[in-house]
């Protein structure tokens, strides 16, 4: 997902399971960050799987459809946990990292550091929590294309060596993630340290187990 545009969604009625004040299940406004192409990729894979299965059934190839069904189901589940579900949410209390199978609720006062590189990593309570769904940085091709286009639009009197002087600073969702933590550090220092809450997403785990068992039985059946 390199070079994906950011998709930011304001959630005024998002339910956070746990916040730093200890009230669970209370509606907490927040901002959700995810890579722009994640869900379109998932939808594309699901459509291809559905079209493939429909084509086999309409063609009367029942045995082929039966053999393909467990693998298409496994692929669809994998795309769900890897592309559709993951995101990173920031709100007034902290970070919520929703990954494929594990979710992490990290209050700001427990955060030691936030690393924003190819992925967003939150260091808290001596551990590293990697976000699967945070926006990725712009790709080299996209950055280079914008850079060349910018140079072509300038007068010849402006040398490439001076390009950084006139370039506009662009803020992305990754900047907003770090800014949310930095703005909360002062207030968080006045509160008692909160605990990181991690949990398994049981529906995804159960469906994944069924998909794997079905695929294995199909392969050896």
Distance CA 26, CA 95 (A): 15
Distance CA 13, CA 50 (A): 33
pLDDT given at position 71 = 96
**Structure pTM?**
0.69
pLDDT given at position 10 = 44
Q: pLDDT per residue over 134-178, tens digit each?
A: 887 665 444 444 444 444 444 444 444 544 444 444 455 566 777
Tokens of 2: 């390199």
Bridge-based pairing state of the strands 111-116 and 120-124: antiparallel
Q: How many C-beta atoms lie closer than 10 Å to residue 104's C-beta? A: 21
Q: Residue 140 falls within a domain, yes or no? A: no
pLDDT given at position 113 = 87
Which residue segment(s) compose the domain that 119 sits in? Answer: 6-135+172-220
Q: Residue 1 falls within a domain, yes or no? A: no
Q: Residue 165 falls within a domain, yes or no? A: no
Q: Residue 73 falls within a domain, yes or no? A: yes
Residues 6 or more apart whose CB falls under 8 angstroms from that of 56 comprise: 62, 64, 65, 68
pLDDT given at position 186 = 61
Q: How many domains does the chain divide into?
A: 1
pLDDT given at position 5 = 43
Q: Residue 110 falls within a domain, yes or no? A: yes
Q: Residue 107 falls within a domain, yes or no? A: yes
**Which residue numbers in the chain have pLDDT < 70?**
1-29, 137-175, 181, 184-193
């Amino acid at each position: 997902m390199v070079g994906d545009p950011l998709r930011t969604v304001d959630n005024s009625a998002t339910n956070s399971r746990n916040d730093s004040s200890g009230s669970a299940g209370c509606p907490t406004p927040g901002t959700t960050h995810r890579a722009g192409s994640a869900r379109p990729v998932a939808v594309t894979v699901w459509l291809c799987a559905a079209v493939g299965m429909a084509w086999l059934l309409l063609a009367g190839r029942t045995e082929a459809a039966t053999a393909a069904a467990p693998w298409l189901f496994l692929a669809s589940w994998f795309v769900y946990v890897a592309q559709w579900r993951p995101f990173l949410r920031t709100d007034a209390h902290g970070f919520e990292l929703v990954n494929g199978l594990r979710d992490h609720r990290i209050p700001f006062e427990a955060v030691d550091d936030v690393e924003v590189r190819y992925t967003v990593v939150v260091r808290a309570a001596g551990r590293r929590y990697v976000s699967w769904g945070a926006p990725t940085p712009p790709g080299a091709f996209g950055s280079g294309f914008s850079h060349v286009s910018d140079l072509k639009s300038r007068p010849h009197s402006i040398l490439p060596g001076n390009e950084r002087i006139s370039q506009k600073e662009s803020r992305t969702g990754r900047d907003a993630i770090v800014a949310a933590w930095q703005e909360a550090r002062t207030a968080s220092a006045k509160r008692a340290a909160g605990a990181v809450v991690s949990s398994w997403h049981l529906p995804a785990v159960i469906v994944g187990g069924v998909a794997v068992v079905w695929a294995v039985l199909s392969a050896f059946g």
